[in-house]
Structure 1
Amino acid sequence: MYRVLAINPGSTSTKFAVYFGDECVLRKTIRHPLEQLLRFKSVVDQFDLRKGLIIEVLQEEGIEVDSIKYIIGRGGLTYPLESGVYRVNNRMIEHLREGVLGHHASNLGPMLADYIALQIPGAKAFMADPVVTDELEDVARFAGHPKFQRRSIFHALNQKATARIHAQKVGKSYESLNLIIAHLGGGISVGAHKNGRVIDVNNALDGEGSFSPERSGTLPVGQLIDICFSGKYSKEQIRRMVVGEGGFVAYLGTNDAQKVEKRADHGDTEAAIVQEALFYQVAKMIGEMAVVLEGKIDGILLTGGLAFNPELEKYIRTKCGFIAEIYSYPGEDELEALAMNGLRVARGEIEVKEYKK
């Protein structure tokens, strides 16, 4: 029986799971208090803390670590890659440490997988569908000025996993479908999936598309320039306005979408209009991707934590129901998605790719 350890580092948590075949035998979420993380200058500096905690929990739970031969981590900000499963190599680790496209908790995923695999005879480390998965058509890369280029940074792992789940549900292959998939979480990404490739998607990390619980999304450029040169804010403060302290955090003082939903349900008019504005912007993004796919769409899929909100689904159905049938897959299970990719490798169902950037 193939045994897989899946690792998903988040900004304030480390999630991991052990699968024996298709069965999940252990699933853990370690929360990292903010005061603990503030001791570190960078995300990469948290490596020793996180790997020590993973190993400690595995031992406490009686997991026979040496029996695990496939360790797969959530992919981070390497150079852009096609979708797929990649073997972790030294060059990848080097680029994640350097932060060639930025520093993010997901950079630790392949690093942690690699370290643990090196402790186990015969074990191998992988990453799957990293956030920099890039399948954009050339025309989608133009930003409007040669000094700028649109980048593909999005929730590739969950979007691809949701697409495959849906394809199985409808009895077709992912590669035969045209889908619009909206990942609705702390960040929001809406992708146009054409025959198994995401040919256009917003950069969900640093400033495209709808605002989200903690990100500002697309901002009016002229106003942003004025703020940047006003002398009132540092570069870091402005960056936090865009990622971390935007969206619900800026408007309502919380990144908890469930709290916002409850406030709106209980008559808080400010919460209600801000929530509706988020819904509105997501609907517009879905419309944009409908144009990308020339109206030939087999389904609109809603996923991520915000998809649990029945008002959001209702709103999207009202605004976008004329485009295609809407399907809801609320929540995300990136650990299961990682584990299933690991099992596909173990069973020889997919070809492992090499990172050569």
Structure 2
Amino acid sequence: MSDATRVLVLNSGSSSVKYQLIDMADGSRPASGLVERIGESQGRIKHEPAHHAPRERYEAFPDHAAALGAVADELAADGLGLDSDRLAAIGHRAVHGGTRFTEPTLLTDEVVEALRELIPLAPLHNPANITGIEVARKLRPDLPQVAVFDTAFHATMPESAARYAIDRATADAYQVRRYGFHGTSHQYVSRRTAQLLGRSPEAVNVIVLHLGNGASASAVAGGRCVDTSMGLTPLEGLVMGTRSGDLDPAILLHLHRVGGMSVDEIDTLLNRRSGLLGLCGDNDMREIGRRTGEGDAEAKLAFDVYIHRLRKYVGAYYAVLGRVDAIVFTAGVGENSAEVREAAVTGLEALGIELDPVRNAVRGSAPRLISADSSRVAVAVVPTDEELEIAQQTFAVVRRTAG
């Protein structure tokens, strides 16, 4: 095997860069870290090498070039620099690939230009992703770099699931359709769930519940996504930390016509001041649980609305799939909140879903079953690993291209 087996995974946000260096030969992670508050008067970089003490420093990072330069310096200090002959590729998280990019893609000038054309579909995310890509390509222009798209896994949805029922010509003109997001998580978790069951992904139907501050559900049949809760944007679907999820579209017209709110004000309301935060003033499920335990009616209502929407999607995707082998919880809330998991499936025994309360209460970092032995449908907790999924897809592209 070539010595070049490491992949640097970069996730460039509007004001942050997350990174992990993953060795595909043995699955080890020599280093990871985070640069945040890019563009502010004082930023922070936290670098965590596997074999040394973590390092943290505060300084100004005026732009992504400065941030990625700091990442390169930290890696070099541990002998893991971008000039290492063990570095096979850089994999970039890209939020939106539209209908053009439905698989991991080797980055070229033409691909970057095509990503610019998709900015209207993801104006908050794609510009930052592109900036990170451009800076990394300048740092290592000779190294293969690959974009892995959040939307790609959902590209297998049938048109009946992907289409909105609006005028077709208008929809096509403005690329209005359901794309879905969190795709690398849904792909990784559905495959790991099949492994947990001792079956191949092609033989398993899974409902994946990715529950973090952003939340999404997917119906995966034989390893292929056939439906997902997020749509044109990440606003559709489940109740989230600060996003509303599903709502009557006429509400937007009502808020504009009657409330006098501008488009930008409505956008801010639905994306940043809604969801759990809008309902009770908190978007941390741990705090909502604490308040509920103390008898706080607003927190209890927020929890109940969250669970009601979640259960609706479980039922809907059961109908979409026809046969469900497993329901799996992942991401921050899904992996850590036994209360959410219990509430989401309690009362669904008629669908063959039974939780084991003792197993559900156990905390751990490994994939595990939490369903009762008598449950026809397995219920599982599978920690997500989007960075590993990006690294695996990136490495596969590089090996395929080289071979």
TM-score (norm 2): 0.76
Task: Determine whether 1:137 maps to 2:140.
Answer: no
**How far apart in 2 are the matches of 1:50 and 1:266?**
43
Aligned AA (1:144): A
Give a deviation string over 1:105-141, Cα, whole Å, max 9, x none. Answer: 3654465345424533741001224235422201113
**How far apart in 1 are the matches of 2:258 and 2:379?**
44
- Please state how far the C-alpha of 1:299 moved relative to its aligned partner: 0.9
Aligned partner of 1:155 in structure 2 is 182
Task: Determine whether 1:250 maps to 2:253.
Answer: no
Residue of structure 2 aligned with 1:56, choices 73, 98, 104 = 73
Q: Is the 8 A contact 1:17 1:335 kept in 2?
A: yes
Task: Determine whether 1:27 maps to 2:13.
Answer: no
**How far apart in 2 are the matches of 1:233 and 1:165?**
45
Aligned AA (2:32): R
Task: Determine whether 1:336 maps to 2:336.
Answer: no
SS of the counterpart of 1:69? strand
Residue of structure 2 aligned with 1:120, choices 140, 154, 157 = 140
**How far apart in 2 are the matches of 1:343 and 1:220?**
43
* 1:132-281 aligned within 5 A: 133-146=154-167, 147-148=170-171, 149-203=176-230, 205-230=233-258, 232-281=260-309
- Please state how far the C-alpha of 1:253 moved relative to its aligned partner: 2.6
- Please state how far the C-alpha of 1:96 moved relative to its aligned partner: 3.2
Q: 1:73–1:317: structure 2 CA closer, same or farther, 3 Å change rule? A: same
Aligned partner of 2:313 in structure 1 is 285
Aligned partner of 2:21 in structure 1 is 18
**How far apart in 2 are the matches of 1:124 and 1:200?**
32
Q: Is the 8 A contact 2:38 2:64 kept in 1?
A: no
Q: Is the 8 A contact 1:143 1:150 kept in 2?
A: yes
TM-score (norm 1): 0.85
Give a deviation string over 1:123-170, Cα, whole Å, max 9, x none. Answer: 100122423542220111332322455412221011101112112222
**How far apart in 2 are the matches of 1:152 and 1:300?**
22
Structure 1: gaps of 5 or more residues: 38-44, 353-357
Q: How many pairs does the alignment contain?
A: 342
**How far apart in 2 are the matches of 1:336 and 1:76?**
16
Residue of structure 2 aligned with 1:104, choices 108, 114, 124 = 124
Aligned AA (1:25): P
Aligned AA (1:14): V
Higher relative contact order (CA 8 A, sep 6+): 1
Q: Is the 8 A contact 1:207 1:219 kept in 2?
A: no
Structure 2: gaps of 5 or more residues: 43-61, 353-376
**How far apart in 1 are the matches of 2:252 and 2:234?**
13
**How far apart in 2 are the matches of 1:229 and 1:194?**
43
**How far apart in 2 are the matches of 1:85 and 1:27?**
22
Q: Indicate the structure (1 or 2) with the bigger Cα radius of gyration.
A: 2
Q: CA RMSD in A?
A: 2.8
- Please state how far the C-alpha of 1:244 moved relative to its aligned partner: 2.2
**How far apart in 1 are the matches of 2:381 and 2:149?**
22
**How far apart in 2 are the matches of 1:257 and 1:53?**
34
Aligned partner of 1:92 in structure 2 is 111
